[in-house]
Amino acid sequence: MFQHLVENLPRRVEVVIASKFQNFHKEQHNFLKPNDDRALVLMTCSARSVMEDLDDIISYGQSDEFSFVFKRTSGSKGEPGNNIHSQFSSSYPLYPPGFDGWVVLYPSNRNLRDYLSWRQADCHVNNLYNTVFWTLVQKADSPLHRTLAADKNEILFSQFDINYNNEPLVHRKGTVLIWEKLEETVTKSVKLPNEEEEQKPAQW
């Protein structure tokens, strides 16, 4: 379906085909945080593999996605772009993640530059946040090494005013589901014959 979409794009427009990792966290790649240079280099090599087979194409990658930009000059099925998404995803070896692909059209070079500038700005904003976040996580993790339960309780109470014993029981102890037999008393109405002699009218 993706190939059919690419083959039927309008002519004479700037075309961006983007590929983004999907569900890669479900595989045991042991990525480093906030950035894993091994994964970034591998993703770049995958993009380079795509560019080696195509002319007049540029690509931009950041985080878990790569955008491939080429100028579409005709509507023929031989145009580049038909296999960009599949070739890029197949270049990622050993327990490959899923890839989500989409096509974006831009009417001018200026719009295209705006798109690339936006992706680069997004890269900066996300990376700055993630760098600070994971630095704080790693820094916070260090004081916890070789601490006892009493030490952890003291940290929560003295620094964050949290009494761990007041935390919800389901958080501290989990949930247990068991089968239990219960005795039930059932009351119901039944039809029984009346064995008492019926009262007959006086004239009988």
Alpha carbons 69 and 18: distance in angstroms, whole number: 9
Q: Is 174 inside any structural domain?
A: no
Inter-residue contact 66 to 118 (CB < 8 Å): no
pLDDT at 26: 47
| Domain presence at residue 166 | no
- Predicted pLDDT of residue 85: 53
* Residue 133: pLDDT band with limits 50, 70, 90: very high
Query: Domains in the chain: how many in total?
Result: 1
**Sorting pLDDT into bands at 50, 70 and 90, what band is 120?**
very high
66, β-bridge pairs: 19, 61
- Residue 35 domain flag: yes
- Domain range holding 96? 2-140
Per-residue pLDDT, 76? 39
Ranked by mean pLDDT, the top range of 166-170, 173-177, 178-182 is 166-170
Select from 45, 82, 77 the least CA-distant residue to 61.
Answer: 45
Residue 198 lies inside a defined structural domain of this protein:
no
pLDDT bucket at 196, cuts 50 / 70 / 90? low
Q: Is residue 7 part of a domain?
A: yes
The CATH number covering residue 71 comes to 3.30.70.3000
- Enter the DSSP assignment of 178: -
Residue 30 lies in a domain: yes
87 contacts 53 by C-beta, under 8 angstroms: yes
Taking only the tens place, the pLDDT of each residue in 67-111 is 888 766 534 344 555 566 566 666 555 445 556 677 888 888 899
> Is residue 204 in some structural domain?
no
